[in-house]
A and B are shown apart, each in its own frame.
Chain A
Amino acid sequence: MTSGVAIRDVTKTFGATHALRGVDVDLAPGEVHALLGGNGSGKSTLIKILAGVQSPDAGQLGVGGAWRSWTGWDSEHARAAGMRFVHQDPGLFPSLSVAENLAADGALGRRALSPIRWRALRRRSARLLRSFELDVDPRAPLAALRPAQREMVAIARALHDVEESGDAALLVLDEPTALLPRHEVELLLSAIRRVAAQGHMVLYVTHRLDEVFAVTDRVTVLCNGSVAATRPTAELDEDTLVELITRRRVDREPRTTRSRRDGQPALAVRGLCSARLHDVEFDLHAGEVLGLAGMGGSGRTELLRVLCGDRRRRAGTIELHGEPVAFRSPLEAIRRGVVYLPEDRRDSTFPDMSVDDNLAAVALDAYWLRGRLRARRQRRDSRELAERFSIVAASVGQPLRSLSGGNQQKVVLARWLRTQARVLLLDEPSHGVDVGARADIHGLVREATDAGAAAIVVASDLQELARVSDRVLVLRDGSIVDELRPPRLDPTTLDDSLYRTKERVSA
């Protein structure tokens, strides 16, 4: 074996479940290796084993040309072997400052009582933040940052650590871009290329296939705990990759726009201003999927939250089917059929409640009959919904937390679609879910709009946005700066538009 990292024949079982069966992954120095697979395919288990969080039942590990034992392999060993991890739930400290978080990996000083050199720490942190174009005060508490910025802090910390180490280190990134807008993803990808060029290795877990093609050298696809394929990225195209991951053949059809552009718009927005929006105007028609593109902080989420009554507007009018509306709370919007799905699943789910109760959360009044909540009827409906929306769960009685991310997302989407909502405001409806579930979610949105609903979809993944939308509005600093319709509607043009408008504004 060479001087890289070799994971050989790793097997792990949880009770009767085979999480991993004889998995091999090799990384050569300077290699960026994608680890792909649907939810539950074993990616996370493999990474946890590598990080020393879980121990495998069998297998070997080679680091730097020597075989190491998995027995007793823990996070300290992983660190000592030059491995750095950015997990899906980054290990950060919300109440500490950004600078303290950046230093938490050891830069504070080894001895418990040695004084911390705050000025030097702050200077170093500021430099590090600048290199990732993070416009935050190192003294600010981490909790004050947006989720995407927090993610970037975690990534910056790990990347910095890897770059500092002399030997060939291994950086493991577990879905680092799930929350990141396009520009930040670009920064991350170029940082990945940089550390790879220095001879370090990167194991990259993602659901975004464009990133796989942009940055990785080889791809390993896991399926039900086994390696389905390991191939050089250059030999693959997107369809082949999707087939390997989902084991379903991809059949692309051109989207036929079925929106009824004539007649009264479902939603007419004029001169809308809020704390972060300036003079936003657009029409949304029944049957239409309107995409919203923009960098993080451009006002995409703000626009949806103003429309659903969660945030106040300062000026402007909103007409729903020709009738002026002024929602003061999400409840008022919901009553008129305007529903909002937040970007962060923590804002939409009740993880300890059952799938059943999560589905019924917006339909309680319908089950309140003759003085009782009709639990049996609710459960029967939930089973039907789970089937209709292809939610994979052993039973609708199990807690939502036990479902994969993609299925949780289908639950919160199904919760709204069951209400026959007329305007769907969807913020990153498919972020952090696997390719199969993503296709399912797009299909559900399409089905709802074909049935007469209208939808606004925010997505950072431009390929996804171009695919699901009939039309895309580009937001920048709270204003609409561009509108793309077919035939101009494709990822490249979208990308151009996002960056061009950025230059135009900053020029």
Chain B
Amino acid sequence: MTISTTLEPEPQQVASADALDAARETGARTRAHTAFGLLERYGLLLFVAAVALFFSLLPATSSLFPSGRNVDALLGNQTVVTIAALAAILPLIPNHFDVSVGSVLGLSCIGTAAAMSTYHTGLVVAIVVGVSIGALVGAINGALVAYAKLNSVVVAINTGISGKLTNFGSLKWLGIPRPAWLLLAVCLVAWYLLDQTPLGRRLYMIGENPHASHLIGVRVRRLTFLSFVLAGALAGVAGVVLCARTGGANPNDGPDYLFPALVAAFLGTTAIRPGRFNVWGTLLAVFFVAVTVNGLSLSGAQPWVQPVFNGVALIIAVALAALLARRRRTASP
């Protein structure tokens, strides 16, 4: 037996009118939320602009902050930390914490420097070596997490080799520092991978519900593994850039980038695509921290301001993300 429903004319009209009412009410609510949604999405961007404007007008910094040299430094100095942050969000999307980003970065930097100074390889080979080291460590991490089901892994390597690498950091292209171009290119690639390919979509699905993903045919372990390999390779790229910027390798430099990278990753979830780790949000978060710290130090703040500000930004990011998430939950019936 089946129940088939015969619609009497009158109740149907009532029913559809109700459905329309309900739809209209929800529609009105969505529209009412749009203003808030826009603010939520671009709030961080406005904030960055406001901070930049503030330091441009503040008497103590108004001459130095907006100067060409300072802007160049601001643009050029964010490449390593942004790429490291993008490396961090790749495993974070499928819900894994990779704390090896900083160490891998340092290791790749050393690898590139060693390839050039000790083994006298060409530039391209040295870069390939640096990136491959990152991908390899990422593969080991990924295998341990995805297949052996371990928690996050810390890789700490201490080797002290220093070397020389042509400093591409000081050159400009179309008036913009080269590292900034690289930064944009890496962001575009990461955005493409995460937003425009089934791979990215599936990583987000795994992050939200790994079991459901498995049951609808997503290769959870393989993709989780892949996210670690890609993260390692990106950390490797960051390491090569670090090597290029500093003209040498110091193994202690790498881990210094871990915390700012994670701050950017988490603060990034409050912007552009709120509630998700996302590329442009991460980029904005990096510049938010950079512009603020730069302005503060130009106005004469002590060096310890930077780590403290990073810590405060992380707390704000986590609190804001939780608050927005709660608001979203209560907003829907």
Q: CB within 8 Å of B: which residues of A?
A: 14-17, 40, 224, 242, 246-255, 308, 310, 329-331, 334-335, 340, 342, 346-353, 357, 361-362, 364-365, 368, 371-373, 392, 394-395, 398-399, 401-402, 415, 436, 439, 442-443, 446, 466-468
Contact = CB atoms under 8 A, between A and B. Distances in A.
A496 B101 CA distance: 63
Nearest to B215: A330
A402 B333 contact: yes
Contact of A350 (B23, B205, B219): B205
Interface hub of B5, B15, B202 (most chain A Cβ within 10 A): B5
Contact of B332 (A251, A255, A398): A398
B2 A248 contact: no
Contacts, number: 136
A364 B198 contact: yes
Contacts of A443: 2, 4
Top 6 nearest A-B pairs (CB, nearest first) are A402-B332, A394-B26, A331-B217, A364-B198, A334-B217, A439-B3
Interface of B: 1-8, 11, 14-15, 18-19, 22-23, 25-30, 195-198, 201-202, 204-205, 208-209, 211-212, 214-219, 275, 328-329, 332-333
Nearest to B209: A350
Contacts of B29: 15-16
Given A348-B212, A349-B212, A364-B202, A394 B5 contact: no
Contacts of B3: 242, 250-252, 439, 442, 467
Contacts of A364: 198, 201-202
The main secondary structure of chain A at its interface with chain B is mixed
The main secondary structure of chain B at its interface with chain A is helix
A226 to B, nearest CB: 12
B2 A442 contact: yes
22 contacts: A224-B18, A246-B5, A248-B6, A248-B15, A249-B5, A249-B11, A250-B3, A330-B217, A331-B217, A335-B217, A347-B211, A347-B212, A349-B212, A361-B216, A362-B216, A364-B198, A368-B198, A394-B22, A394-B26, A394-B27, A401-B332, A467-B2
B324 to A, nearest CB: 12
Contacts of B211: 347
Contacts of B25: 15-17
A208 to B, nearest CB: 15
A467 to B, nearest CB: 5
Nearest to B11: A247
A331 to B, nearest CB: 4
Contact of B2 (A346, A373, A446): A446
Contacts of A330: 214-217
Nearest to A368: B198
Contact of B215 (A340, A395, A399): A340
Nearest to B32: A15
A493 B195 CA distance: 54
A373 B215 contact: no
A241 to B, nearest CB: 13
A392 B202 contact: no
A371 B195 CA distance: 12
Contacts of A248: 5-8, 11, 15
Nearest to B19: A392
A330 B213 CA distance: 10
A255 B212 contact: no
Contacts of B14: 247
B216 A334 contact: yes
A372 B196 contact: yes
Contacts of B217: 329-331, 334-335, 362
A331 B219 contact: yes
